[in-house]
Amino acid sequence: MNLKISNSQIEHIKGANSYLIVSTFLIFVVGLYFSLLDSPPDYIQGDSMRIMYVHVPSAWLSLFSYTILAISCIVWFVTRNPIFNLFAKSIAPIGAAFTLIALVTGSIWGKPTWGVWWVWDARLTSMLLLFFLYLAYILLWQSITNQETAAKISAALGIIGFINIPIIKFSVDWWNTLHQPATISKLSAPSIDINMLIPLLIMTLGYMCFLITVFLIKLRIEIIDQKMVRLSEV
Amino acid sequence: MFRNLIIRDLKIAFFTSTNFLFTASFFLLILILIPFIFGSEIGLLKIMFKGLIWIALVLSILLTLSRIFNSDYDDGNLDIIIRSVSSLESIICAKYIAYWITNCLPLVLFVPIVGQLFNLTFQETVPLMVNLGIGSIGMVFIATCISALTLGAKRTTFLKGIIIIPLYIPFIIFGVDTDSWPILIGLSMIAFVVSMYASIYSLRLYGE
């Protein structure tokens, strides 16, 4: 099945991206103002808890990216439309980068708070696992030379790795660990103070805009690449 | 046909360099490294043995993974076998059974014997054997699945390792805890189902 995206649609993606870049920048400025200057410091940790505004949205979005990757792979299996494979291929490096940011900023936060850079508790280990799953997905695309076969195999791998996401999400509840349990859930009022919640949500929105911006850039590149491969085969 | 496939693979295994003697020697040599690394204090040796036997299992699976599908695919035999059976499940199960018998069964059976070197009584090695046996069933299923997924690719040894080891971590977490053999049975069953689907999908893809 061929990729049915016309050149004008590619130009539309580029046009939408210019709005997104501006809004990403603005939301980050607002979010950073609120998180660094306007929000209260923690009564135990002091000002070092401000890393939370970088660490938490990054971790949330890494899980979100893997979910998008797995859903794209499943939809590809159902509809066989190659655009969904390109969705998954584009979001993989972004998700990997977010996971790495979450791990590194988490370590930086952990050093003054817990005293160690790393501890092998459930959530940290499963986030490390998630990073390796992303890496495996990206490397699998690069190692199979026939692009059609690579698409099919990577879709299978993306779905297999999805089992890790509920493990990460619920690991903090299942095993009694050092990492802080969830303070924001859909079913009850969040136990975090409203003055800290607002910057956190603004930063999450900024990260999400950033994700969509980079995702659209990569998607455009992948679509053009796929079209060039098809044309060279003809 | 199923029985013939198993017998064929067993014959290939036993008459070449992956037979019983070689596999047993490989395990023994990996485990012998333990006192060299950690010193020969007897209490420490016991703990290290119970842990590092899993590393020996993972290493042996990763090193001989290509025997399941890749060597037959490179020769062209896999094509012939796929065309001559009625269902792809039988090929996968036959190769899996032959691989498990030649690779993991020696490990599980030699654990009490090697355990004597590390001061473990037979009663202490029985839960270890049970966990290893059940865990290795699931782990080899995952290995066949990933090996089938990367059939045509060249130089994929480390790539397969990168994909497989994160998927092995639940097995190892529950494997070293000797009370969790029911969870290991569940994990192995999940691995069986998922790898069946994925292996059949990729054999159909590569075998056309």
**Which residues lie below 8 Å from residue A156, measured CB to CB, with a gap of 6+?**
A73, B149, B198, B201, B202
Task: Give the three-class secondary structure for A46.
Answer: strand
Band of residue A172 on the pLDDT scale cut at 50, 70, 90: low
Q: In the predicted model, what is the mean pLDDT of chain A?
A: 83
The span from the CA of A51 to the CA of A105, in Å, is: 7
CB-closest option in A129, A146, A156 to B166: A129
pLDDT at A91: 95
Which is more confidently placed, A96 or A146? A96
Band of residue B91 on the pLDDT scale cut at 50, 70, 90: confident
Residue A89 burial (C-beta neighbours within 10 Å; 0-12, 13-18, 19+): buried
Residue B74 belongs to domain spanning: 2-206
Q: In the predicted model, what is the mean pLDDT of chain B?
A: 86
pLDDT at A211 over 90: yes
Band of residue B173 on the pLDDT scale cut at 50, 70, 90: confident
Residues A152-173, mean pLDDT to the nearest whole number: 78
Residue pair B61/B157 in contact (Cβ under 8 Å)? The answer is: no
Band of residue A87 on the pLDDT scale cut at 50, 70, 90: very high
Tokens of B57: 């299992």
pLDDT at A148 over 70: yes
* Separation in Å, CA A157 to CA A161, B146, B163, B186: 6, 8, 9, 21
Q: Percent of chain A scored above 70 by pLDDT?
A: 88
Across the interface, do A146 and B152 touch by the CB < 8 Å criterion?
Answer: yes
CB-closest option in B165, B170, B202 to A153: B202
pLDDT at A92 over 60: yes
Band of residue B13 on the pLDDT scale cut at 50, 70, 90: confident
Residue B189's identity, in one-letter code, is M
The span from the CA of A164 to the CA of A187, in Å, is: 23
Q: What is the per-residue pLDDT across A8-54, written as a single tens digit (0 to 9) for each?
A: 888 888 888 888 888 888 888 888 888 777 777 777 777 777 888 88
pLDDT at B22: 81
Which is more confidently placed, B130 or B10? B130
Q: Quote the strand ranges of B103-156, DSSP E.
A: none
* Cβ neighbours of B170 in A, within 8 Å: 167
> How many alpha carbons fall within 13 Å on the CB side of residue A14?
10
Residues A106-130, mean pLDDT to the nearest whole number: 83
Tokens of A60: 């949330």
> How many alpha carbons fall within 13 Å on the CB side of residue A207?
25
Across the interface, do A140 and B198 touch by the CB < 8 Å criterion?
Answer: no
* Cβ neighbours of B202 in A, within 8 Å: 152-153, 156
pLDDT at A8: 82
Q: Work out how many domains chain B is built from and give that number.
A: 1
> How many alpha carbons fall within 13 Å on the CB side of residue B168?
25
| ipTM entry | 0.77
Which of B:72-131 have CB within 8 Å of A? none
pLDDT at A188 over 60: no
pLDDT at A181: 58
Q: What is the architecture of the domain spanning A7-233? A: Up-down Bundle (1.20)
Tokens of A24: 């990403």
* Cβ neighbours of B204 in A, within 8 Å: none
Across the interface, do B194 and A160 touch by the CB < 8 Å criterion?
Answer: yes
Band of residue A190 on the pLDDT scale cut at 50, 70, 90: low
pLDDT at A1: 65
Across the interface, do A129 and B169 touch by the CB < 8 Å criterion?
Answer: yes
Question: What sign results for the dihedral spanned by CA atoms A109, A111, A115, A119?
Answer: positive
pLDDT at B204 over 80: yes
pLDDT at A31: 82
Q: Round the CA-based radius of gyration of chain A to a whole number and report it.
A: 20
Which is more confidently placed, A166 or B137? B137
Across the interface, do B162 and A136 touch by the CB < 8 Å criterion?
Answer: yes
Residue pair A66/A133 in contact (Cβ under 8 Å)? The answer is: yes
Band of residue B144 on the pLDDT scale cut at 50, 70, 90: very high
Which is more confidently placed, A169 or A22? A22
Residues A187-191, mean pLDDT to the nearest whole number: 58
pLDDT at A55 over 70: yes
pTM: 0.83
Across the interface, do A157 and B163 touch by the CB < 8 Å criterion?
Answer: yes
pLDDT at B118: 85
Min Cα–Cα distance to chain A from B153, Å = 5
